[in-house]
């Protein structure tokens, strides 16, 4: 089985839990859009913008973000 490439520092991955209970894993947020590694408010804004774009293209709206957690690198 092929191994995943390690993230190179340009992105930080987040796991997202939506209010309806659905989960979206390893959502990438550019580090340039954040004020430091602990900036969850900035990450939430970027992810909500991504969700709006996805909903617009697919015609299926996503729920509201309930919580997000930074993925720990191995």
Q: Which residue has the higher pLDDT, 53 or 36?
A: 53
What is the distance between the alpha carbons of residues 34 and 11, in angstroms, rounded to a whole number?
10
Q: Do the beta carbons of residue 11 and residue 29 sit within 8 Å? A: yes
Per-residue confidence (pLDDT) for residue 36, from 0 to 100: 74
- Domain definitions of the chain by residue range: 11-70
φ/ψ of 20, rounded to 5, equals: -85, 0
Q: Which of 3, 4, 25 is nearest to 14 (CA)?
A: 25
Tens of pLDDT along 28-50? Answer: 999 888 887 677 888 999 999 99
Q: Which of 36, 52, 56, 44 is nearest to 17 (CA)?
A: 44
Element (H, E) at 27: strand 23-30
For residue 7, pLDDT beyond 60:
no
């Amino acid at each position: 089985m092929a191994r995943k490439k390690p993230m190179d520092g340009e992105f930080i991955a987040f796991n997202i839990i939506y209010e309806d209970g659905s989960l979206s894993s390893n959502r990438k947020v550019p580090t340039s859009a954040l004020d430091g590694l602990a900036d969850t408010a900035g990450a939430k804004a970027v992810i909500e913008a991504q969700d709006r774009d996805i909903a617009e293209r697919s015609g299926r709206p996503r729920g509201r973000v309930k919580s997000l957690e930074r993925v720990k690198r191995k």
